[in-house]
Amino acid sequence: MSTHDQTSTSSEVTTLPQVKPPGFKSHVHEHVVEVSFPWTVAWDWLHDPDTFIKGQPWPYRVEFLDTPQPDGTVARGFDVGTRNAHHGPFMNFCGVISRVSVEADRAERDLDYDYGAYALAFRLIRPTLLRISVDALGPDRCRVTVRVESFVRGWIAGPWTLAQRCFWPFFSVALRWSCRRRVSTGTSSRR
């Protein structure tokens, strides 16, 4: 039985927000895609660490660190409190899963990026948040929203937006392909 058949769940951890440095401005980019699959199929793919670990081109890598919690438990994968890093040349997106909320017809996850996270160079782009939301639009259709918040030098805001406009459509293709595959193989609700 899928966890989506249960009542709504929400968990979060408090993280220290990054402080906007002098000379930087806030930047937000949202990518929205609608797919013809139940929201649970898309969420299962987005909430599977292998989605992000496998298939990374060398020398890029995504890591999830088993992270001891104050209550003695260990956060893993997309558990709240898990440390995470996506790194490679010209990027280090390191942070912590700070919030996961699953309701009857939607789910949302926040990854708060730590001080030291950067794209291109620490003095140019500092990502602060990656939020992924999945909303049901009916029984067989959903909307996935990816929100990236960053602090950027003003002159690089345009190229940073352009880079994301080029990257996220490939993510949408992978989402559609993987949802189709999960439905055809019956692996869409394995939790």
User: What is the CATH classification number for the domain harbouring 167?
Assistant: 3.30.530.20
Q: Are 191 and 9 in contact (CB under 8 A)?
A: no
Q: What is the DSSP letter of 154?
A: G
Block residue for tokens 């402080």: 19
* 82 located within any domain: yes
132-175 confidence digits (pLDDT tens): 999 999 999 999 999 999 999 999 999 999 999 999 999 999 99
**169-188 average pLDDT score:** 90
- Containing domain of residue 95, as a range? 7-185
* 2 located within any domain: no
Helix (H, G, I), strand (E, B) or coil at 156: helix
The structure's pTM equals 0.90
pLDDT of 2 strictly over 50: no
pLDDT, averaged across the chain: 91
pLDDT of 37 strictly over 80: yes
Per the structure block, which two tokens stand in for 5?
């058949």
* 190 located within any domain: no
Domain count, the chain: 1
* 42 located within any domain: yes
- Stated as kind and residue range, the H or E segment containing 74 is strand 74-75
- Side chain identity, residue 81: G
Could you give the angle at which helices 39-46 and 157-185 cross, rounded to 10 degrees? 110
In the chain, count H helices and then E strands. Answer: 3, 11
